[in-house]
Structure 1
Amino acid sequence: MSLDNWAYLQTKQNPELKDFLAEYGFKHLSDWALLNRTRAKQLEKLSIRDRNLVEIFHGVYRHDRIQNRQASAKSSLKSCPDPSKNQLEEMLKRLKERDITINSTSELMKALKNTATQLRQYDIWSYREPLEIQDSETGGYAFRSDLPQTSICEVDVEERELVEYLHEQLKLTANQVIEQEIRNCITKLKKSKKYAPFADKFVTGLQLYYSEQKSLQEITHILKMSSWDQTRRILNPGELVAKVREQTTLNLLDSILKLAQQKGLTQIPPTPDYIKTLAEQIEIFADDEVFQAAAEEIRAGKNRSLNSPYAQILKQILSNIHQLIPAN
């Protein structure tokens, strides 16, 4: 006898092992034995159709088993054999009386086995202890304290921290750069002989554009500018997005490089290829999170909805007008 066969027989026939598994719902029962021993509590978990299947099974199969047990010696009675053809046909007849149509004995066998599978699952899980317990004081549920805690890989933790850091830095950097670029635009207008009179209208123009969603043509009339083209050259929201994007990605690259060096993720100084790859990844990340939506909503024209993350940051900054206009 091979070792595999010996081990199989030893474990399958070991009464102590079978008793131990039975305590946790892993009873070594055939489908027919499982159906034969089904109790009312288990039936409650089944659908109406499956309940009828089990009840009919009991009425035919279990009835025959009881009669055979009475007529035969216990030792000569085989443990729950497959239903006979006559038994299956009798079940089909009784199911039809309950308006349950099953077309053949093979289909009935399949239906009974499916029901047995459900009962087997019930047997297993009815012995399981819940993962959560109710707190008697709060009435809420919490994980059991005796359960082993999941071990989190240090690498996973570090990656998660880096991702969180990247999101935080992007938001912080975008705020700082947007504010600085608005200041730069105002300063540039003030230094221009041609556009100096409009420097004080720059913030108002952006507020009209982003907060009130006015078109450049409407802003032209409100701020008494000479033409749509002049308004576009002064405000130029698309150019502002481009400048903010460029400076944000540069600042973010510098911040991430410093962190990478601190954590030993790159050599000092980093190689040009490393910097290039990292810069490309940061640009993709920043575009996905902020700048792609910012550019698209500007191009949308009259139907635009200025609610992108960039627009929300900008509107918040514009609400602090006095902090943005440099003193003369």
Structure 2
Amino acid sequence: MSAVKIPTNTASRYWSAIAIDAAGKRQVREITTAKAFFLESFPDFTPETQVSDTQVQRQLWYWMQEADQSSMAQLCLKCFMSQQIDAVCRGLASRFGAEHGFTSNDLLPFVLDEEIGKPRRHSPTYQSFLDEILQSFDPEQSSLATWTTRRVKHHKPLNQFLLEHGIYLVSDWAILNDTKPKQLHRIFTEFHNLTPSEIQRAQHLLDAYHAVYRSQRLKQRLAGVKGKCHPPTPEQLQQMAHRLSSPLRPEPLLRQLQLIASRLREYRIYVRGGKLKSESLDATPNEPLDVPYSEPTPDQQSEFLTAYRQQFLQGLDQAIAQITGDRTRKLQRRDSQKAQQFLTALHLFHCQGQSMSDIARNFNYKGQFQVSRLLKLKAFRADIQRELLVYLSDRILEKAQRYTNRQRLQTVHHQIQEAIAEQVTQVIEDAATEASTATHERHQKTRSLFAKRLCHYLDNRSNIS
């Protein structure tokens, strides 16, 4: 490998990788094996050729599914992805770095945890962040650049670093979309200490925003239109003003919505363990002082544990429904029969205790390896685990703050996160252990919580026979 410059939008992006040197600084390296494979596979291209990323990435992705070309196709895609990751990190540093005290070199280690083109230092089963992105990528749904950017901006370790520097990577409009009026009332009362009239005005604005903006966005999503939340249009702002019977023009109304979102953002940064903006000691206090901490009473502890168990089950059910639905829809787009077989195989394996060999015979497959390839249970459980952790992290911290003061919550934040992660991991490990046991043992034993909730979901789907 040698250090090189990457010409923009040319074929060389598929063999030039971003790496981090021993000093923690960014490097660009040319991977000669990837270059030779790419130029041989696409003989019409030269290193300086402008390429169609959609065409090239789709072909490389399909080769990645083939055993004989998988590793080299994956290597080319990872080179491209490393540059997109680098571009996202440089963009974040350009936008926030000077004010919040970091550079793109500080961000790269969170999302570039693999030396592309070099033998892995980890175990063969280790999955890097690049592996995760590639495994979840579908060339029929988005470009690799768009998908990589999205995954980077939602990567938990990177977001935690940004939170610690006072940055929350969600748009104002997405924050307003998923904030309920009751939540706003509690946050503005307990965290910002606003007056009742200020809170009431904010609630009325949020109601109008939901009735116009969120309602229209939901209709777009149902119609298959995806993408990030854009600022409200002048027409939408006028509709909101009309609902409020307000003389406000669109520009002042937009500023008021942004102020509400800014206050909600500050609260979210706080509860996630991030750093708030410092204020002058001479400034008027904008939030209530913490009261001295006292241990929760037995009744409060019992109430919290009951709420936690309810949230855990709700989160597990939601994660199972989300990931199973995503997998089914992805298969449906390619082969409706495969989608139905996926659901049926899940039910036969987890709910009826059938072995993969039995399921293979039911489907007239050549062997159980085809069932394993269809179900991909390890990745299936890992996706549900990630979804459940995201769900619980927000909701349990929100519940916990009702039973302690803010200073204490800040202290125990990481302990709560670790406790949640430990329990989620245990549920997934129990499911993995159960799946690896012999069929007759698995059928006789009490099913794991994971299997019970998965079967509950599958039994309530109308298309499960």
TM-score of the two chains, using structure 2 as the length reference: 0.33
Higher relative contact order at CA 8 Å, sep ≥6: structure 1 or structure 2?
1
TM-score of the two chains, using structure 1 as the length reference: 0.45
Question: Highest CA radius of gyration, 1 or 2?
Answer: 1
